Amino acid sequence: MRNLSLNAPVLTIDGPSGAGKGTVSRLVAKTLGWHYLDSGSIYRSLAIAVQKKMIDLADVKAIVSVAEAMVLEFECGDELIVTLNGEDITHQLGLEATGSIASQVAVLPEVRQVLLQKQKDFRQLPGLVADGRDMGTVVFPDAENKVFLTASAEKRAERRYKQLIEKEIDANLARITSEIEARDRRDMDRETAPLAMAKEALYIDSSDMPITAVIEEVLNLIR
């Protein structure tokens, strides 16, 4: 079964937070009838598990044990529903604080090693769209199709701000911009699996593109 799955085609979509990877990946997966891996939600789930157990972020051993023990279930409908050890954590996943802690545990090579197989297991027929930071470089280096999707920090912050306001969550544009820039730096500067473009990836800057145009460009790559 695993051998068969290893033959499943993979499209990787990497890039910084807020570039539109989630929306694009979900819609492309839906159009193709492929599975979808939101790898950020795995790091975010670990962040939530670590917070729940009140583990110090300097305690690498404890973080690794939590990562090893975590049982995650993903239900991919219109919205991604995630349960962690049987508890629905969907509403906590999108919080800015969760993303910030996720990027702090994500710098740990031991953590990335534990989470590697969990991500590879998503490679199932008829195919997989994998969204993250190191999908094309580390997790699925042999993927047939790779995209690097980015946008300026200002545009990404504006989009995030609008999303929060629409959800009636209090938000501050200047603070979101500086949080996004801090997370970018942490993701790009870390030693293990930093955010980087695979050399064969298609580069798309979505700053001034409607999401429909981005999706079209990605689908053209597959077709």
Measure the CA–CA gap between 16 and 180, rounded to whole angstroms.
9
14/34 with CB nearer ligand C5P:
14
Measure the CA–CA gap between 186 and 100, rounded to whole angstroms.
10
Q: Which of residues 14-53 bind ligand C5P (CB under 6 A)?
A: 17, 39-40, 43-44
C-alpha R_g of the chain: 17
Q: Which of residues 169-188 bind ligand C5P (CB under 6 A)?
A: 183, 187
In whole angstroms, the minimum distance from the beta carbon of 134 to ligand C5P comes to 5
Q: x/- contact string, 132-171, with ligand C5P (CB under 6 A)?
A: xxx-------------------------------------
116/202 with CB nearer ligand C5P:
116
Q: x/- contact string, 83-112, with ligand C5P (CB under 6 A)?
A: ----------------x--xx--x------
Residue indicated by tokens 């699925």: 140
Contacts of 37 (CB under 8 A, 6+ apart): 119, 122, 128, 129, 130, 131, 132, 135
Find the residue with minimal CB distance to ligand C5P. 40
21, 15 contact by CB (below 8 A): yes
Question: Sign (positive/negative) of CA torsion 141, 143, 144, 148?
Answer: negative
Measure the CA–CA gap between 172 and 165, rounded to whole angstroms.
10
Residues that bind ligand C5P (CB under 6 A): 17, 39-40, 43-44, 99, 102-103, 106, 132-134, 183, 187
